[in-house]
Structure 1
Amino acid sequence: MVTTRSASKAATPAPSGPPPAASSSSPSSRSRQTKLWSHAPSRLTLLWFAVSLPLVIWDSGYVLLRPLTMEGGPLHWPIYAPYKLYGEVDHVYGWKAFHARNGFTSAQGTLNVLETAMYLVYVWIYFRSGATDAQGRATTTRVLSGRPAAVAVLTAFSAAVMTLRLQEYFSGFDNIGHNSLQDLILLWIIPNGLWLIFPSYLIYVMGGEIIEGLSAASTGVSVKSE
């Protein structure tokens, strides 16, 4: 069930007993059958978490421990040495913002901690789930269903919305406008662009799953929770 996008659907559990007689089943009774909403993240989603979570934890440590992590600080070398260059590319991370007591950097770092915690909740729910499909049968693919699926998807969706930020665009590129085009592309646009593309992907996919589940409930279909 792990595909190129998240799989989320309301699946009708297979009947355990003999099929009902044709005369005792009506269209209205069939439409009221209990359906089970399930979710399995795509490989791309899991790959993004595997790459982004360590990087965001590293970044949050630099931001929240400044100036100890900045050049000349006891924690700068070797863990945070790359930030010497990045602080010159993006002044939000450098001495300019720190001396100006710019609160955005620390606020962003604090928000990153919350986002990371929410993503870790999603990963924890996913990996603690049994390897069963939507009907409860054993499978090699992990599939969340019922309430755990709903909590995981809503948590990841909310974290993705928090991750997607366009601060530099609305500040007139004040902190990065001094760079050459080549440096801007290689050292800022490409790295930061990933945090625009993948959160947008998660918002689109998981937002669609939330709508799908609400749509199933609003049409009178009973959504079974586990």
Structure 2
Amino acid sequence: MAPKTHTWITAWFLLTAPIIAWDVGYCFFTTSVYGGKHPHTNLTGVESGQGGDLHWIWKPYSIYQRVDLVYGVEALERGDGFTNAQSLLNVIETLLNVLYVYLAHVKAWPPASLVGLSAATMTLSKTVLYWVQEYFCNYCAVGHNTMYDAIVYWIIPNGFWIVVPIFIVNRLSRDLAAELNFAAKAAAKSKSK
């Protein structure tokens, strides 16, 4: 039995892959590749036209690193590893997302929904952790923003990574439950013969 697929889930998994790759590129090039000593992506001094030689690729981060200090220069200078840790998990999630699409649409592998559910659960839990960490540190990375900036640049963009995975987890959980119930009924029926 081929897995039940949903266009909107597949679209989310495929459309978010390049966004995540872009974010991971910013994070990893800033610290991991260059050890944080001469960050090529960092946008320090962007107002004066300075910054890393690759900062043009990530120009919107000139705003975001001021909104979310986890992405900012101060976090880089103190060696805060949270941003890269969550970026590494983003890579794993994205690989699972693409694997789900391949297994569900190309291979038609029945347990593919389990891969998609696992990926969406990872995304949801990591993003909730990101938000809860802010709560427990008294909004240490985003509390300096105006309400407008917090809503437009942090809550809405990051909120998508909570809301959409909730819907995906719900849908794929229901699909898997239906498949397990069907299998259980079929097994009981064959046992009674």
TM over 0.5: yes
Structure 2 regions of 5+ residues with no counterpart?
Answer: 31-38, 44-50, 189-193
- Structure 1 vs Structure 2 CA RMSD: 1.7
For residues 80 and 116 of structure 1, what CA distance do their matches in structure 2 show? 20
For residues 122 and 220 of structure 1, what CA distance do their matches in structure 2 show? 26
**What's the TM-score, normalizing by structure 1?**
0.68
Aligned mate of 2:64, from 86, 108, 111: 86
1:76-104 deviation per Cα after TM superposition (whole angstroms, max 9, x unaligned): 11x11111110000011111211121111
Q: Quick check: 1:149 aligned with 2:100?
A: no
Residue of structure 1 in register with 2:162 after alignment: 196
Q: Quick check: 1:63 aligned with 2:27?
A: yes
Report how many aligned residue pairs link the two structures: 167
Greater RCO structure (CA 8 Å; 6+ sep): 1
Aligned mate of 1:211, from 169, 174, 177: 177
For residues 131 and 157 of structure 2, what CA distance do their matches in structure 1 show? 14
For residues 88 and 155 of structure 2, what CA distance do their matches in structure 1 show? 22
> 1:125, CA displacement in angstroms?
2.2
Residue of structure 2 in register with 1:137 after alignment: none
Name the SS of the counterpart of 2:66 in structure 1: helix
> 1:115, CA displacement in angstroms?
0.6
Name the SS of the counterpart of 1:211 in structure 2: helix
Name the SS of the counterpart of 1:70 in structure 2: coil
For residues 79 and 151 of structure 2, what CA distance do their matches in structure 1 show? 27
Contact 1:168–1:175 (8 Å) recurs in 2: no
**What's the TM-score, normalizing by structure 2?**
0.79
Contact 2:20–2:94 (8 Å) recurs in 1: yes
- Letter in structure 1 aligned against 2:114: L
The structure whose Rg is larger is 1
Contact 2:70–2:83 (8 Å) recurs in 1: yes
For residues 40 and 213 of structure 1, what CA distance do their matches in structure 2 show? 9
Structure 1 regions of 5+ residues with no counterpart?
Answer: 1-35, 130-143
> 1:123, CA displacement in angstroms?
1.6
Residue of structure 1 in register with 2:119 after alignment: 159
Name the SS of the counterpart of 2:54 in structure 1: coil
Contact 2:13–2:94 (8 Å) recurs in 1: no
Q: Quick check: 1:40 aligned with 2:11?
A: no
Greater fraction strand: 1
Per the alignment, do residues 113 and 58 of structure 1 end up closer, same or farther by CA in structure 2, a change over 3 Å counting?
A: same
